[in-house]
Structure 1
Amino acid sequence: MLVINRDEVAGLLSMKACIGVMQEVLAALSAGEAVQSLRQVLPLGEGNLLGLMPGQLRQEAAAGAKIISVFPHNHGAGLPSHQGAVVLFDTATGMLKAVVDGREITAIRTAAVSAVATRLLAREDAGVLAILGTGEQAVSHLEAMLLVRNIREVRVWGRTGSKAQKFAADMSAKWNVKITAAATVREAVQDADIICTVTASTVPVLSGEWVKKGAHINAVGACRPNDRELDSALAAMSRLYVDRLESAVHEAGDYLIPLGEGVIREGHIIGELGELLHGRIEGRAHPAEITLFKGLGLAIEDLAAADYIYNQAVRLQKGIEIAW
């Protein structure tokens, strides 16, 4: 069995490679070639939880689960909010193949899925990016968006202004693009072509009245039925796509809350990214439409990433081999 730590995951799974892996697994999921169960969530009190996310990749003969803790208030203590591991098994023998750091996989694959959605749904001429949030996902989403659209300007907003300013300074030094900190969400998203919401908020931070026609939104911060980052008006005015329909109708507060309010109806979700990849549903139909991807994060995405990392580790002789 291989143990693959966080630093090795970062070295073995590039964002560019992960975007390709995510596109393939999303298509496989919608085609029935990959299967998963709904995540099981164990509340730990004070808004914290432990999640179990199992799945199977049939073509790769791999199965396993991601086990993750979510402690939203960790940011205040300088700790990551999401921590965990992906456990990978061989379905031909039942052998435990690998334990892979889950935090780095989450950081990379979440943004990679948003990149797939952006590639499919954002306007080709999209050039202004707004990022709401300043944590790990803000960093990874910036990299991912730069890979799929010709971004010329980035604005970032965070609840703590100093963190937004530091993000802008650090990322400006890393990427050849103009990045500025915005004082308000409205200022950040004004005239933005792509908006990524990657906050830990449980209540709306983004209002539909601030979003310009033709924008594309990746909403990936809220992952529980009672949590959301978007107001109901924005959900109603958007063409809504998801990573997995079964997950969205059970877990996505950005869909379930406006549905409960009667602002939208069942059927408001156009479909899954995998269906879009197969050409079974229509994507953006008009340049002025607002498209919205609601991502929850799927077990199958973690397994596909872990399987790719495992194969790379074997090829490059990385990781720590442990007798099991």
Structure 2
Amino acid sequence: MTLILTASELHTLADMPRTIKAVESAFADISAGLAHQPAPASLSLPPSGGRFIPMSALSAADGLASVKLLADIPANSDRGLPTQRSTIVLVSRSTGETLAILDGRIPTRVRTAAASAVASKVLARSDSSVLGLVGAGALAVAHVHAMLAVLPIKTVVVWSRTAETTDAFQRQVADLELTVVVAASAQDVVESADVLCTLTPASEPVVFGKWFKPGLHVNAVGARPRPEDREIDSAGMVRSRVFVDSLPTATTKSGDLMIPVSEGVMSVGDVRGELGDVITGKVLGRTSRDDITLFNSVGIGVLDLAIGRILYDSAVEQSMGLELDLSR
């Protein structure tokens, strides 16, 4: 039987602490050879600007294979539709049975924030107390909850292009014991932060390396999965000790990395390593309090698989979702 899970059902099942733990284990499994994470394809046909990206993964620990089909369609904004949509398919590694089909919106948001939390846990200064957010949408709210699970965050400094977005953000985090400061500019956010998360669908840089202060940790999260789009300028990448979730994936779809490489100001070899190798001790992360570290978060299928395992198991335990026999 195959379990169908909708976005509203997944919202009630999502658990940030469990997801952070599962995401950290998934990164470590890649490093240890216990999970297979191939580089994704990127499918497009002219003249459409849309891209379709199948993100596959295989995990021994979770006993699953998975594929998320991500549709990235910028033109949807003019139609009043989400510019990114996705669906996750979970398959038994032992039998090949399709166990579940999940709407991808909630799992992607939660596992993305969890990945930033894991990166911050292992790369940021342990006493980091000021979280900076460039972007204030739903992903920013998820990042606040994720960071509170791993660091002693006391203050959140946030900026968005619209006051409506920052007002909504403040309402959604009002029940947390935090001081929230709405900044006048992205520069103000960067210059005040111990940990910075960039969460915008930018195609051109919104954050510049000249703003980075010693000791900063950056999670570069928001840019679309395209080698020509980025949030961080080349100077920011060059100034930082750069880590990625998956090097083959980053070189396929990260403009934050590949644009400075194309400019000749850095090389792929300047990437210090994958986050899983930091977790397992194969690669050194932060070397001093003054290091500027940067996690280039491009998104990988193993993380969709990891949160899919949690959501599927929780749904089965709580008898949620619609069961169908797809073989009939």
TM-score by length of 1: 0.94
- The equivalent of 2:219 in structure 1 is 218
Whether 1:310 and 2:295 are equivalent positions in the alignment is: no
Letter of the 1:163 counterpart: T
- The equivalent of 1:258 in structure 2 is 260
Aligned mate of 2:246, from 231, 244, 252: 244
Whether 1:205 and 2:211 are equivalent positions in the alignment is: no
Q: Distance in 1 between matches of 2:75 and 2:189?
A: 24
Unpaired segments ≥5 residues, structure 1: none
Cα deviation, residue 75, structure 1: 5.2
Q: Distance in 1 between matches of 2:25 and 2:270?
A: 25
- The equivalent of 1:108 in structure 2 is 110
Aligned mate of 2:93, from 61, 66, 91: 91
Cα deviation, residue 76, structure 1: 6.4
Cα deviation, residue 10, structure 1: 2.1
Superposed, 1:279-298 pairs within 5 Å as 279-298=281-300
Letter of the 1:265 counterpart: S
Does structure 2 retain, via aligned residues, the 8 Å contact 1:165–1:181?
Answer: no
Letter of the 1:27 counterpart: A
Cα deviation, residue 11, structure 1: 2.1
Superposed, 1:127-138 pairs within 5 Å as 127-138=129-140
Does structure 1 retain, via aligned residues, the 8 Å contact 2:73–2:83?
Answer: yes
- The equivalent of 1:154 in structure 2 is 156
- The equivalent of 2:197 in structure 1 is 196
Residue correspondences, number: 323
Does structure 1 retain, via aligned residues, the 8 Å contact 2:38–2:249?
Answer: no
Does structure 2 retain, via aligned residues, the 8 Å contact 1:161–1:183?
Answer: no
Q: Distance in 2 between matches of 1:175 and 1:112?
A: 18
CA distance 1:227–1:173, shift in 2 (3 Å): same
Letter of the 2:163 counterpart: G
CA distance 1:255–1:105, shift in 2 (3 Å): same
- The equivalent of 1:19 in structure 2 is 20
Q: Distance in 2 between matches of 1:78 and 1:175?
A: 31
Q: Distance in 1 between matches of 2:87 and 2:154?
A: 36
Per-residue CA deviation, residues 69-109 of structure 1 (Å, 9 max, x unaligned), is: 22345456654332221111112222111101211100100
Matched residues, percent identical? 38
Per-residue CA deviation, residues 267-319 of structure 1 (Å, 9 max, x unaligned), is: 11110111011101111101011000001110111011112211222222221
Unpaired segments ≥5 residues, structure 2: none
- The equivalent of 2:232 in structure 1 is 230
Does structure 2 retain, via aligned residues, the 8 Å contact 1:121–1:283?
Answer: yes
Does structure 1 retain, via aligned residues, the 8 Å contact 2:227–2:254?
Answer: yes
Does structure 1 retain, via aligned residues, the 8 Å contact 2:136–2:159?
Answer: yes
